[in-house]
Amino acid sequence: ELIYAGAILKDRWVLAEIGIPVSSTIKCVVKEEDKPAFYVYNAVTQEKVPIMGSIYLLATNVSHLKTLVTLKCGFPNSVYCLRTPGGREMYDCNTLNDYQLDIGATLRLDVWDGWKEFLTGCLLGNKHKIQCSLSKEGPIVRYQMRVALYMAAFFGHLQLIAWILRQGVRPHEAVGVHPYREWCQESYHPDVTKCPVHAAVEAGQLMILKAFVNYNILCLECPNPAGHIPLQICIKHKRKDCVLYLVTKMWSVVSYPNFSLPMKIYIQLKQWLLRAQNHLLTTKRRTQTAVFRTRVGDTVIVDGFTKPKMTSKGLYKSMIGEAESKAFKLPNLNYQLQHEKESSPLTFTRKNQKVTNFKLPPVKDANKLSNTDKLQENKNTRRKAAHPRNDESMNQNMCLTKVPLPPISSLKNSRPPFYYSTPHAKFLLNSSLESFSEHSGRSPRENAIYCLAIASAFKEKPWLQQLGIARSLAKKSVCKPVH
């Protein structure tokens, strides 16, 4: 690969556009890399995630592969399933050899139907998008909030974590499984008992770990499915900063006015008190009434027997599918009128006969369309071709989060002082912006952010020179001829 100023040059880049002058030195690097054992195509981010390993990985269970995928993509284990290249769902209890997979095959990661927008909001740390994508069912909403806290801890979204903690979600509480799968306890993956604090430790998110410990000190002794506490997980994943913080915190002392306690004894006392409170609460519930988490009419999913609900459908498509499944077809109107005519021919009036003899408006010939209609149709066709789909723009949105942006101005009059000096300046400016968005598929602001994201890859250059590269890219994208 070719490297210039700390940036790996992409094949589609033009040297003049990214500001590489004549007689510059470009480093040529020959890299050696191990080929991944598998690739996993993420249906949410539209990315291919490589899974490293040897041929012996084929002899392991699917559950082990899902553990590796969770460490790579940050999704909790219970929100997705893996499928073979042929679309066959893979179950945790089977081995990879049972599905006759080859080394280098591409598997597909599918999530719950209607969850793509919600998981996208969790990836980007967008609280508003998460709120708009929450389910209307209470148990599912509680499960979604635990999932959101887990992913926010993995990706380091501190503001989103602060909001979720205010909703009552605890960082040392297990994510669990979807309420539809609560009947399949024997087939649970062990990682469903992982907590958000474990995700923060595995990803090395020190600020998130500090926030969790300050929120509840029990996070220091929260074990994962293998029985390891956060300090042991940090040592395993070589998170030096987190190790130093946890060692300092665990060997500290909790001081009271008349005495002090070591942190380990203090945590044990809090755990004992919490168990006693839970025991009293369950005893009171048993004496009052029986509490059932699942009720008659709730959806139940059993592997291999029910219709799969992990196909990565969007929120809108999943809502349409549920509405169609609950809907029923009305009887044919013509059949009903004919039946009435045969049963009582004497009472069949002319009013009923007029119902079937209605006229439709004439169909306009496509060859006789006016020039205005043709121009509008061609414009709409170009606009649809230029604008990417939501799935295709996901990769662009993910990379744009790395660019620090100023807040969007709320001022309505943000034009330069000479803007109104030219007659019809507003019409000229708006028409040029519309034509640019039509042919490029991006708004001017999105194009500027995209150019900044590319220019920020040149890390060895000062920020002003990176800004110059971004301006050059933006200028070339505007002046590029349209064919």
Q: What is the mean pLDDT of residues 346-356?
A: 46
Rounded to two decimals, what is the model's pTM?
Answer: 0.64
Residue 48 has pLDDT above 70, yes or no: yes
% of the chain residues with pLDDT over 90:
29
> Can you give the pLDDT at residue 39?
92
- The half-sphere exposure of 391 on its side-chain side, counting CA atoms within 13 A, is 10
> Can you give the pLDDT at residue 175?
92
Q: What is the mean pLDDT of residues 103-121?
A: 91
Confidence tier at 21 by pLDDT (50, 70, 90): confident
Instruction: Name the amino acid, one letter, at 416.
Output: P
Q: 195-205: per-residue pLDDT in tens? A: 999 999 999 99
Confidence tier at 355 by pLDDT (50, 70, 90): very low
Residue 393 has pLDDT above 50, yes or no: no
Q: What is the mean pLDDT of residues 273-301?
A: 71
Dist CA 356 CA 334 (whole Å): 7
> Can you give the pLDDT at residue 428?
52
> Can you give the pLDDT at residue 352?
47
The segment(s) of the chain belonging to CATH 1.25.40.20 are 38-255
Q: 122-145: per-residue pLDDT in tens? A: 999 999 999 998 988 888 999 999
Q: What is the mean pLDDT of residues 334-354?
A: 49
Which distant-in-sequence residues (6+ apart) come within 8 Å of 441 by Cβ?
386, 387, 388
> Can you give the pLDDT at residue 162?
94
Confidence tier at 158 by pLDDT (50, 70, 90): very high
Name which residue leads in pLDDT, 363 or 459. Answer: 459
> Can you give the pLDDT at residue 300?
79
> Can you give the pLDDT at residue 378?
58
Confidence tier at 319 by pLDDT (50, 70, 90): low
Dist CA 403 CA 401 (whole Å): 6
Residue 348 has pLDDT above 50, yes or no: no
SS3 labels along the chain? CEEECCEECCCCCCCCCCCCCCCCCCEECCCCCCCCCEEEEECCCCEEEEECCCHHHHHCEHHHHHHHHHHHHCCCHHHEEEECCCCCEECCCCEHHHHCCCCCEEEEEEECCCCHHHHHHHHHCCHHHHHHHCCCCHHHHHHHHHHHHHHHHHHCCHHHHHHHHHCCCCCCCCCCCCHHHCCCHHHCCHHHHCCHHHHHHHHCCHHHHHHHHHHCHHHHHCCCCCCCCHHHHHHHHCCHHHHHHHHHHHCCEEECCCCEEEHHHHHHHHHHHHHHHHHHHHHHHHHHCCCCCCCCCCCCCCCCCCCCCCCCCCHHHHHHHHHHHHCCCCCCHHHHHHHHHHHCHHHCCHHHHHHHCCCCCCCCCHHHCCHHHHHHHHHHHHHHHHCCCCCCCHHHHHHHCCCCCCCCCCCCCCCCCCHHHCCCHHHHHHHHHHHHHHHHCCCHHHHHHHHHHHHCCCCCCCHHHHHHHHHHHHHHHHHCCCC
> Can you give the pLDDT at residue 332?
61
> Can you give the pLDDT at residue 19?
78
Superfamily per CATH, domain 38-255: Ankyrin repeat-containing domain (1.25.40.20)
> Can you give the pLDDT at residue 55?
81
Q: What is the mean pLDDT of residues 441-455?
A: 81
> Can you give the pLDDT at residue 359?
57
Which distant-in-sequence residues (6+ apart) come within 8 Å of 277 by Cβ?
none
> Can you give the pLDDT at residue 394?
44
Residue 471 has pLDDT above 80, yes or no: yes
Q: Which of 105-114, 272-281, 432-441 has the highest mean pLDDT?
A: 105-114
Name which residue leads in pLDDT, 56 or 71. Answer: 71
Q: 279-291: per-residue pLDDT in tens? A: 887 776 665 554 5
Q: What is the mean pLDDT of residues 443-458?
A: 83
> Can you give the pLDDT at residue 392?
42
Mean pLDDT of the chain: 78
Which of 25-39, 412-426, 430-444 has the lowest average pLDDT? 412-426
